[in-house]
Amino acid sequence: MNNIHIPPVVKNLLIINILFFAATYLLTRLHLDDILAVYYFDSPKFEIWQPISYMFMHGGIAHIFFNMFALYSFGSLLESRWGAKKFIIFYFITGLGALALQWAVQAYEVHQIIGSITNNGKVNLAALLQGEFNTKQLSMAQAVTLRSIYFGGMLGASGAIFGLLVAFGMLYPNAELLIMFIPIPVKAKYIIPIYILLELSLGVAQFEGDSVAHYAHLGGALIGFILVKLWKDKNDTFYTLYE
């Protein structure tokens, strides 16, 4: 244990995420998961701090465990390589990129239903929240979609984590990773693209009951890819570890 090194930004991100998670369940009366999750930008529940605060909130033990494990595993190496400033810029930009793509997809869905990306009084959102809507105006499926978009919050560091995964795969393509249920190590350049394609297929399929923000994951991955390409083109000094 004495040989474990966690660089400062990763260490502080781990601490903050764990504190937010603990506070969510210890201070239930504050409804932090409702206040600090991020909502569609046209939602009456949207607040200006949410695009940042949502990255520190998680919906359960498994959610925070796997995200923090990935943050430690991949983030530690990337921060050691890039330095604290570059790493934290990458982390937050990919987190915001995740939200941007999620909002873009939601805006498209809203436009398909009501003809614009904002409600502007076209639908009584208060009534919709109570399950009441004009059946001549909306179908049941449309009402469910709008209610989910306007009143369903998104939380978690997964968008930024997907950015880290893509960066790791691009910088250390031959690093061998141990994946659950796969008995042999798999190189990052194979498993990470497969994981991204899986997220894309799940996002397009939109299975009923699937509450995972797949497009947010893809947004983080896309921005992560773009940033690594830009930084590489600007003479980023690459280590040869695992390559």
What's the confidence (pLDDT) of residue 237?
47
pLDDT surpasses 60 at 211? no
Query: Cα separation of 230 and 171, whole Å?
Result: 13
CATH 1.20.1540.10 fits 8-233, yes or no: yes
Question: Residue 32, exposed/middle/buried by CB under 10 A (0-12, 13-18, 19+)?
Answer: buried
pLDDT digits (tens, 9 = 90+) for 88-145: 999 999 999 999 999 999 999 999 999 999 999 899 999 999 988 887 789 999 999 9
Task: Judge contact between 71 and 64, C-beta under 8 A.
Answer: no
pLDDT surpasses 80 at 183? no
pTM over 0.75: yes
What's the confidence (pLDDT) of residue 241?
41
What's the confidence (pLDDT) of residue 224?
96
Query: Cα separation of 154 and 170, whole Å?
Result: 28
Strands 176-177 and 186-187: antiparallel
What's the confidence (pLDDT) of residue 117?
96
pLDDT surpasses 90 at 221? yes
pLDDT digits (tens, 9 = 90+) for 233-243: 554 544 444 34
More confident position, 225 or 1: 225
pLDDT digits (tens, 9 = 90+) for 20-74: 999 999 999 999 999 999 999 999 999 999 999 999 999 899 999 999 999 999 9
Task: Judge contact between 156 and 217, C-beta under 8 A.
Answer: no
